[in-house]
Structure 1
Amino acid sequence: MKQVKFLHTADLHLDSPMVGLRHLPKAIFHRLQESTFKALSKITDAAIKQEVDFVVIAGDLYDAEDRSIRAQAFFRNEMARLDEKGIRVYAIHGNHDHLGAQSVAINFPDNVHFFNDQVETVVYRKEDGTLVHLYGFSYPERHVSERWIEKYTKTAGADFHIGLLHGHFEGASDHGKYAPFRVSDLIDKGYDYWALGHIHKKSFLSEQPYIVYPGNPQGRNRKELGDKGAYIVNLTESGSEVSFLETADVIWEETVMDAMQIDSFYDLYEKCLAAIEGNRRDGKGVLMDIRIERLNPELSDVINKINSGELLELLQETEKGEDSFVWVHRLHFSEDVVVDRGNLIKQSDFYEELFKTIELYEELTETLSPLFRHSQARRHLGGLTESEREQLVREAEQLLLQQLLKN
């Protein structure tokens, strides 16, 4: 029976600068800086151990256009390890590491094929004669907004057909809208597998055929939560099988803590410690965001210790020297404000008008525009997703109601 086995990864973002995280302890920040490299090493280890036929990388190998020499050298050395085992590599460049970037380039082993700036078909032949066609293109420049999917065709004669595409699934994400496509576009091509990249969250858009975003192999900020990795894919004449491979050395987590039953600072401290232990991963680091909800506003001593940073410092104190650390990098809370909208509206027309204004509020972008126009701030800010917009409005409503009801 004809079959082929390969590893699918994307969005390596080697040498990511980890913007805004230099406040972390030196050892933890260094661990995070090295994490994208370590994730690639784990990918190489897995490809060798699993004895895959080849590896596909669906764009954004590097984090920036200038492609640091260090990042290129590390990537080349990992590819050389695969070359020693006879494992080929097929890679496309995405919007972060597009072909138009002006940077010093180094040579790579012969087992690595980078797709050019036009959709091309590459042939892979196993020793048993199994034939695979791989289709893809590298971004010629950073902003690729055209529907490049229309340029993909299927070349007859192969046992399996695999498409590589670094692009945006229309209507499903606020991530940069590059090389957009619809799922039906991919299915209509008749390929056996689509190796996608660009979206940093793992997801299956289809299972017949498999259309897969593996996500990035290492989370780089608090938006990129949870386990990160790659996929091992088996294609056979009778069907396909996909299994997830964890690769992240440092994991970002978020914990929501219900503080309704909290009566003292000690209670809250113990609950936070339990959350830390519950998120500890053997051999991995964890950067955790704790959000405390429904905290009694009458617990002024507890609130003061949170606002002063005393609780956060206490939680961080013993984690600096841990190999399997759980570092609480952000601790915030909301007081327990129970709002009966109907009752408030009966009390005053003001509340009825307030709630209508909140529900119809659409000027968030204009309100935040001074921040996004700031020369320093906009270097570190991305666009807000719809869920982030909704959360900001909810939090603003809570703050406003807290102040109104106190008075």
Structure 2
Amino acid sequence: MKQVKFLHTADLHLDSPMVGLRHLPKAIFDRLQESTFKALSNLTDAAIKQEVDFVVIAGDLYDGEDRSIRAQAFLRKEMTRLCEKGIKVYAIHGNHDHLGSRFMTIDFPDNVHFFKDNVDTAVFSKEDGTLVHLYGFSYPERHVMERWIEKYPKADGADFHIGMLHGHFEGTSDHGKYAPFRLTDLIGKGYDYWALGHIHKRAVLSHQPYIVYPGNSQGRNRKELGDKGASIVHLTESGTEISFIESADVIWDEIVIDAQEASGFNILYDQCLAAIDQKRREEKGVLLEIRIERLNSGLSEVIPKLASGELLELLQENEKDEEYFVWVHRLQYSQELVIDRGNLIKQSDFYEELFRTIEQYDDVSESLSPLFQHSQARRHLDMLSESDQEQMVKDAEHLLLRQMLESQ
């Protein structure tokens, strides 16, 4: 039976500068700064251990247009390791490392095939005669807005067909809408597998054929949560098997603590320590966000320690020298405010109108527009997730009602 096995990765973003994270302790920041390199090394190890036939890299090998010599040298080293094991590599460049930028290049071993700035076909042949066609292109410039999928040929003349595309699945998100495509576009080509890149969250868009975003190999900020890695794909004449392998050296994570029953500082502190132990990973570092919810507003000795950052500093102090650290990079809390909406509405029509306005409010971005126009503030506000915006509205509601009720 004819078959082929390969590793599919994307969005390595080698030498990512980890903007805005220099406040971390030096050892942890250095670990994070090296993490994109470590993730690639882990992927190389996995490809060798799994004895794959080849590796496909679906764009954004480098984080920046300049492609630092250090990043290129490290990539070459890992490609050489694969070459020594007889493993081929097929790679395309995306919007971050497009071909139109000016950069100094270094030579790569013969096992690496970089697709050029036009849709082309690479041919892989196994010793048993199994023939694979791989299709792809590298971005000629950063902003590729055209539907390049229309330039891909239909499957013909090989045992297996693999499409490589660094692009945007139309209608899914506001992530840079480069090289857009629809599922029907991809399925219509008749390929056995689509190796996608560009979206940093793992997603399987289709099972017949498999159309896969593997996500990026290493999370670089708190929006890129959870396990990061690549796909091991086994194509056979009878079907496709796919599995996920981890590659990240540092994991971004989050946890919610229900503090309703916390009657004092020590209990809340122990809850935080338990959350940290729960999130600790073997042989990995963790950057953790803790959200404390339903905290009793009557705990006058606890709330100042949260507001001043004292609890956060205490939790961080325990992790500074840990090799497999869980560093709490953010600690948020919300106080329990018992609101009897029905009773308030009975007291005044104003409350009924207020609650209706809050429920219908959905444009946090417009309210924050003055801040978005400030260069330094915008760097942080761009990181606001949908859950962050929902929490902001909830916190604003509680603050407003608390002040109103306390002034009565």
Assess same fold via TM > 0.5: yes
Partner of 1:203: 203
Contact map agreement 1:174 1:385 (CA 8 A) in 2 = no
Whole-angstrom CA distance in 2 between matches of 1:82 and 1:216: 20
Give the corresponding residue for 2:170: 170
Q: Which amino acid aligns with 1:262?
A: A
> Is the 2:258–2:293 contact (alpha carbons within 8 Å) kept by the matching residues of 1?
yes
Q: Which deviates further from its counterpart, 344-353 or 316-325?
A: 344-353
Which residue number in structure 2 is paired with residue 342 of structure 1?
A: 342
Once the two structures are superposed, the pairs formed by residues 36-47 of structure 1 within 5 Å of their partners are 36-47=36-47
SS of alignment partner, residue 73 of structure 1: helix
In the other structure, the counterpart of 1:6 is: 6
Residue number in structure 1 paired with 2:382: 382
State the 1:387 CA deviation.
4.8
* Range with greater deviation from structure 2 (337-346 or 49-58): 337-346
Whether the aligned pair in 1 keeps the contact of 2:223 and 2:385 (CA below 8 Å) is: no
Residues 19, 380 of structure 1: 8 Å contact kept: no
In angstroms, what is the RMSD of aligned CA positions?
Answer: 1.6
Q: Given that residues 372 and 381 in structure 2 are in contact (C-alpha distance below 8 angstroms), is that contact kept between their aligned partners in structure 1?
A: yes
1:250-399, aligned counterparts within 5 Å? Answer: 250-379=250-379, 382=382, 386-399=386-399
1:134 corresponds to 2:138: no
Tell me the residue number matched to 1:150: 150
Q: How far apart are residue 380 of structure 1 and its match?
A: 5.6
Over 3 Å counting, the alpha-carbon distance change for 1:356 and 1:242 in structure 2 is same
CA distance in 2, matches of 1:380, 1:71: 26
How much does 1:385 deviate? Answer: 5.3
Q: Where do 1:17-28 residues align within 5 Å? A: 17-28=17-28
Cα distance in 1, alignment partners of residues 108 and 381 from structure 2: 34
How much has 1:188 moved relative to structure 2?
1.6
**Contact map agreement 2:154 2:191 (CA 8 A) in 1:** yes
1:344, CA displacement in angstroms?
A: 2.3
Unaligned runs of 5+ in 1: none
| Contact 2:259-2:295 within 8 A present in 1 as well | yes
Structure 1 position 235, deviation (Å): 0.2
- Between the aligned partners of 1:185 and 1:342, the Cα distance in structure 2 is 52
Say if 1:11 and 1:60, in contact at 8 Å, map to a contact too.
yes
Equivalence for 2:400? 400
Any idea what the Cα deviations from partners look like across 1:330-376, whole Å, max 9, x if unmatched? 11100112333333222212222222322333543332222222133
SS at match of 1:129: coil
1:288 aligned partner, one-letter code: L
Decide whether aligned partners of structure 1 residues 286 and 243 sit closer, same or farther in structure 2, where only a CA change above 3 A counts.
same
User: CA, structure 1 residues 321+387, in 2 after alignment: closer, same or farther (shift >3 Å)?
Assistant: closer
Paired residue type of 1:395: D
Deviation per residue, 1:246-290 (Å, 9 max, x gap)? 111100110001001110000000010111111111111011000
Whichever residue aligns with residue 160 of structure 1, its letter is: F
Report the CA distance between 1:61 and its aligned residue.
0.6
Cα distance in 2 between the residues matched to 1:287 and 1:68? 26
Question: Does the Cα contact within 8 Å between 2:194 and 2:211 map onto a contact in 1?
Answer: yes
For 1:241, the equivalent position in structure 2 comes to 241
**Which moves more between the two structures, 214-223 or 373-382?**
373-382
> How far, CA to CA, are the matches of 1:241 and 1:230 in structure 2?
14
Cα distance in 1 for residues equivalent to 2:285 and 2:123: 40
- SS for the counterpart of 1:231 is strand
Question: Residues 7 and 52 of structure 2 are in contact (CA less than 8 Å); yes or no, is this contact kept in structure 1?
Answer: yes
Larger displacement relative to structure 2 (228-237 or 339-348): 339-348
Q: How does 1:205-244 map to 2 (within 5 A)?
A: 205-244=205-244
Match of 1:31 in 2: 31
> SS of the counterpart of 2:133?
strand
Which residue identity is paired with 2:361?
A: Y
CA shift for structure 1 position 406: 3.1
CA distance in 2, matches of 1:96, 1:74: 18
CA positional deviation for 1:386: 4.7
Instruction: Single out whichever of 313-322 and 36-45 deviates more from structure 2.
Output: 313-322
Question: 2: distance between equivalents of 1:297 and 1:9?
Answer: 48
Check whether the contact 2:155–2:190 (CA below 8 A) recurs between aligned residues. Answer: no
Corresponding position of 1:120: 120
Distance in 2 separating the partners of 1:113 and 1:7: 15
Following the alignment from structure 1 to structure 2, what is the Cα–Cα distance between the partners of residues 300 and 383? Answer: 32
Whole-angstrom CA distance in 2 between matches of 1:343 and 1:166 = 55
| Alpha-carbon distance between aligned partners in 1 of 2:96 and 2:193, rounded to the nearest angstrom | 24
Corresponding residue for 1:192? 192
Q: Following the alignment from structure 1 to structure 2, what is the Cα–Cα distance between the partners of residues 258 and 64?
A: 41
Residues of 2 paired with 1:277 and 1:383: CA distance? 27
Partner SS for 2:104: coil
For 2:198 and 2:23, how far apart are their aligned partners in 1?
28
Secondary structure at the counterpart of residue 75 of structure 2: helix
Q: CA deviation at 1:95?
A: 1.0
Choose 356-365 or 334-343, whichever is displaced more.
356-365
Aligned residue runs from structure 1 range 86-101, under 5 A: 86-101=86-101
Q: Which residue number in structure 1 is paired with residue 61 of structure 2?
A: 61
Identify which range, 368-377 or 202-211, moves more after superposition: 368-377
Once residues 101 and 15 of structure 2 are traced to their aligned partners in structure 1, the CA distance between those partners, rounded to angstroms, is 16
SS at match of 2:70: helix
Deviations 1:135-174 (A, max 9, x none): 1111111112222222222241100011111111122223
Q: Distance in 2 between matches of 1:14 and 1:226?
A: 19
Judged with a 3 Å threshold, the aligned counterparts in structure 2 of structure 1 residues 331 and 26 are, in CA distance, closer, same or farther, namely same
CA distance in 2, matches of 1:214, 1:406: 51
Tell me, which stretches of 5 or more residues in structure 2 are unaligned?
none
Change (3 A) 1:192 1:330: same
In 1, the alpha carbon distance for the partners of 2:403 and 2:138 equals: 53
Residue 16 of structure 1 aligns with an amino acid whose one-letter code is S
TM-score with structure 2 length normalisation?
A: 0.96
Structure 1 vs Structure 2: percent identity of aligned residues? 76
